[in-house]
Structure 1
Amino acid sequence: MATLSDRTFTQIAELMHGSIGLSFAPSKKPLISSRLAPRIQRLGLGSFEEYLQLISTPDDGGEFQMAVDLLTTNETYFFREPAHFELIEAELARERPRRVAVWSAASSFGDEAYSTAMLLADLHQRGQIGSDWSILGTDISDRVLHSASSAIYPAERLRQVPPERLKRHCLKGEGESEGLVQIGPKLRERVKFGQLNLCAAIEGGLPGAPFDIVFLRNVLIYFDPPTKRAVVDRVLTQLRPGGLFFIGTAEGRVPCDTPLQVLAPGAFRKVAG
């Protein structure tokens, strides 16, 4: 397999940044090489240059999207960063709102969206929120959105979900489906998924906006500083004043012009303007 030259790496990085805002520093060259090399081999192409030519053309057969998936897909699982869900539970139990709208802005395979759905369903059952609650999950990847809509997961991904909650909200696979779990239909009907490029303008607002809770976790790492700021401010236009905003706990300071109050690592409240 041919090696990834500096020149071709730069061209791939420029294509990703220009198209969807992804930023890859020179230190990410080994990552791009290791993620794309098996795909190039599977397609029967002879070099990274041929692959670049393929994903640069409009008639690429969806290969550009495949490259995006390969370069951005990370491990995800249910109730990742549990302190965020504990904060949401405490906040909603205190406020007892009649309506709760949530946006998982980089929803990936849906683990975050369905984790939140489990929490909201339990809060509603306890009478701590009203019956009008909904969740929107968006991502740039068709592939992960299709998987999220099916709501079928390896049981290992739900390792942090207590057995009682699993029993309430999930269907356990048997026979050929042993080791798999599907989210139950009552939760699935509350969670909708759609494709969205966070680097593009949000025309006319999103379904369900303004949201009470917005997750933008573990995606800002893919953007350079100016793009991060633009993305965060754009996303926050869809959050109501006083609403909760979450990024990954390891992502540091939020780069934005929108006033935010720090609640905990990775957790913020949008300040009323």
Structure 2
Amino acid sequence: MATIPLSDRSFSRIARLMHSSVGLSFTPQKKSLVHARLWGRVQRLGLGTFEDYVRLIESHDDGGEFQMAVDLLTTNETYFFRERAHFDLLQAELQRTRPQRLAVWSAASSFGDEAYSVAMMLADLEMMGTVGPDWSVLATDISERVLQSAVQGIYPADRLREVSAQQLKRHCLKGEEESAGLVQVRETLRERVRFGQLNLCQPIETIGPFDVIFLRNVLLYFDAKTKSAVVDRVLMQLRPGGLFFLGTAEGRVPCRTPLKALAPGAFRKE
């Protein structure tokens, strides 16, 4: 079947809907990306045009298709211990302060790779006596679908390529036979991570305070005004002196909350 074209009008309607509903920003330069991410879905639903798809996701009775569109437009590569320097910095901070209580928030957790990476590190530091047993990890995302997957904690083995052999043995189970090539995070670790749905572009109830917040590789989907608002909204949940992580390539986002830069993508709330 030939590729279904995306008209400028349909693209503009999709872009407006995504921005008004969840804060996502799609400039005209991203039209080809939107087309590539969604056209297969249009085909699978048996729709003849993108106009039909837009009418579907704009309707109140969309059968969950709007959320599916959000998922398709925001899914990016993720893996355990991505941007390792941030985990090294956090570990050094914890070895210095040796906290008895610690609360961490993975604010754009996607499929849970980041949250479980943090949990692995904290479990190991607890075992060594560096941190106390009273630690917690909260992982949130706008997508209910990816959160449901994250709760299961099952991943292709390649996603854990940065996990050491010792950590794999302690914290994971390798699949066999029909599950060969898959790895599942052990239940003892999965129980330490709470998952919940949250839209960062809407007011956030008091869910903190947190000592560490990761907000990595999600701001690229927002325009400049939305980025600043999201960062300030998230930082309201961070304790003074707490650590805040953005994606290394995202740079420093202008915000009202005073931050001290520690390393690329790493900050301390002042």
TM-score, length basis structure 1: 0.97
Q: Distance in 1 between matches of 2:174 and 2:203?
A: 40
TM-score, length basis structure 2: 0.98
Map of 1:202 onto structure 2: 204
Letter in 2 for 1:202: I
Task: Note the alpha carbon deviations across 1:223-252, whole angstroms, 9 max, x for none.
Answer: 001100000000000000000000000001
Structure 1 residue 255: deviation in Å?
Answer: 2.2
Instruction: Give the match's secondary structure for 1:7.
Output: helix
Map of 2:78 onto structure 1: 76
Matched, 1:242 2:244: no
Map of 2:94 onto structure 1: 92
The ranges of structure 1 where at least 4 consecutive aligned residues each deviate by more than 3 angstroms after the TM superposition are: none
Letter in 2 for 1:76: T
Task: Note the alpha carbon deviations across 1:45-78, whole angstroms, 9 max, x for none.
Answer: 0011000000000100000000000000001000
Letter in 1 for 2:216: R
Map of 1:16 onto structure 2: 18
Matched, 1:264 2:266: no
Q: Distance in 1 between matches of 2:224 and 2:162?
A: 33
Map of 2:216 onto structure 1: 217
Cα root mean square deviation, aligned: 0.6
Instruction: Give the match's secondary structure for 2:249.
Output: coil
Map of 1:112 onto structure 2: 114
- Picking from 149, 152, 165, the partner of 2:151 is 149
Map of 1:126 onto structure 2: 128
Task: Note the alpha carbon deviations across 1:179-201, whole angstroms, 9 max, x for none.
Answer: 11110111111100000000000
Corresponding pairs, count:
268
What are the ranges of 5 or more consecutive residues in structure 1 without an aligned counterpart? Answer: none
Q: Distance in 1 between matches of 2:7 and 2:181?
A: 42
Q: Distance in 1 between matches of 2:6 and 2:86?
A: 40
